[in-house]
């Protein structure tokens, strides 16, 4: 099968691209490996700027979550700091966000096929799990944190002590709602950090970034979370309200700080395939949606020829937020330096929140 534009992945980046191409009346095909929308491992934070972009795509904030986040709380050991977010944000599950985005794509005429797993990419040809070959003039790679054989991100981007993502969903409870209402929390510890916020169904999403060495020391994700609950009083209080027997989702080797400043001819990298921001910035989904919108606009304006120039331009847009978030991450993971974040004035925390957003 041949299509002018092939979108690999139906998450936020891929769906935003499909919406843009469908609105422009351009032929395309989006393929998504899952037949049913799941709940991908994700912090679930949508900033004010990302909410504006979603509104432009036809997704209103209240359809995602009626409750807003107005405050960020930082914890390190027994210390805490609180600051107002620059504008109200919200938290949402990937199941809700992806469902609404794909539904919007279909509503504006996007071509979507589900249950199609791309195993290998060679040039601008994608080979699927069932042996089919999909050919395109331009391929938009929106596979998220998962690499596709043939276009894997460089192994050296992971570093000598790679980062793993862990996610635990804490079931709804009145006590958790009281503790977390209106706030996103960041719990800092040596070797990693955890973000915690309430999603649209009232469940608390605990998403962690932790170095493999810290996990190896604990022995297992369950043991690590239990140990952190003992080390970090505030986190321990929240974990004490939940059933820690629920499944823990994990993803390995997240290359924080990597960005694609070039791409092979005919290939466009989007979302985490374009740049991976440390999760404490809360801008991963923002990058996904911004990249899909920008790439589809560039393709609509200049066709396949414009896309070789688009990738380095988008990499430049990512330079500041990834750099600032990387610096904050290094401070947050340091036993010595982390208290500096808690001692910072609220105006500095506000500035960091703004500087880690994707502009344009």
Q: What is the 3-state secondary structure (H, E, C) of 282-351?
A: CCHHHHHHHHHHHHHHHHHHHCHHHHHHHHHHHHHHHHHHHHHHHHHHHHHCCCCCHHHHHHCCHHHHHH
CA triple 193-198-200, angle to 5 deg:
140
pLDDT at residue number 268: 98
Q: How do the pLDDT tens digits run along the chain, 360 residues long? A: 899 999 999 999 999 999 999 999 999 999 999 999 988 889 999 999 999 999 999 999 999 999 999 999 999 877 888 999 999 999 999 999 999 999 999 999 999 999 999 999 999 999 999 999 999 999 999 999 999 999 999 888 788 899 999 999 998 999 999 999 999 999 999 999 999 999 999 999 999 999 999 999 999 998 999 899 999 999 999 988 776 667 899 999 899 999 999 889 999 999 999 999 999 999 999 999 999 999 999 999 999 999 999 999 999 999 999 999 999 999 888 877 777 777 777 787 888 889 999 987
pLDDT at residue number 244: 64
pLDDT at residue number 159: 84
pLDDT at residue number 318: 97
CA triple 297-316-16, angle to 5 deg:
30
C-alpha gyration radius of the chain: 20
Ordered structural domains, the chain, with CATH? 2-157+254-355 (3.50.50.60)
Residues in CB range of 324: below 8 A, 6 or more apart: 281, 352, 355, 356
pTM to 2 decimals?
Answer: 0.95
Which secondary-structure segment (H or E) carries 274? none
């Amino acid at each position: 099968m041949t299509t002018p534009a092939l979108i690999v992945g139906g998450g936020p980046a891929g769906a935003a691209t499909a919406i843009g191409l469908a609105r422009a009346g351009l032929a395309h095909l989006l393929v998504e490996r899952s037949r049913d929308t799941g709940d991908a491992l994700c912090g679930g934070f949508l900033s004010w700027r990302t909410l504006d972009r979603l509104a432009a795509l036809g997704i209103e904030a209240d359809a995602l979550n009626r409750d807003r986040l107005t405050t960020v709380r930082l914890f390190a050991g027994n210390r805490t700091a609180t600051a107002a977010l620059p504008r109200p944000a919200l938290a949402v599950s990937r199941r809700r966000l992806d469902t609404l985005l794909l539904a919007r794509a279909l509503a504006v005429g996007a071509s979507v096929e589900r249950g199609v797993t791309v195993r290998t990419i060679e040039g601008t040809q994608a080979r699927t799990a069932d042996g089919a070959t999909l050919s395109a003039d331009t391929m938009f790679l929106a596979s998220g944190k998962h690499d596709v054989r043939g276009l894997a991100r460089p192994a050296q981007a992971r570093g000598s002590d790679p980062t793993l993502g862990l996610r635990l969903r804490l079931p709804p409870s009145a006590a958790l709602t009281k503790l977390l209402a209106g706030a996103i929390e960041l719990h800092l510890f040596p070797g990693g950090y955890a973000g915690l916020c309430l999603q649209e169904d009232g469940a608390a999403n605990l998403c962690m970034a932790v170095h493999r060495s810290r996990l190896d020391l604990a022995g297992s994700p369950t043991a690590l979370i239990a140990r952190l609950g003992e080390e970090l009083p505030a986190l321990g209080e929240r974990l004490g309200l939940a059933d820690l027997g629920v499944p823990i989702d994990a993803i390995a080797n997240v290359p924080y700080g990597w960005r694609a400043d070039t791409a092979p001819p005919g290939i466009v990298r989007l979302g985490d395939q374009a740049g991976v921001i440390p999760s404490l910035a809360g801008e991963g989904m923002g990058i996904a949606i911004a990249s899909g919108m920008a790439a589809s606009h560039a393709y609509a304006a200049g066709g396949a020829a414009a896309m070789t120039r688009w990738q380095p331009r988008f990499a430049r847009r990512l330079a500041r937020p990834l750099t600032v978030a990387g610096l904050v991450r290094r401070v947050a993971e340091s036993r010595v330096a982390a208290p500096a974040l808690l001692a910072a004035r609220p105006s500095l925390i506000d500035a960091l929140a703004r500087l880690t957003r994707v502009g344009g």
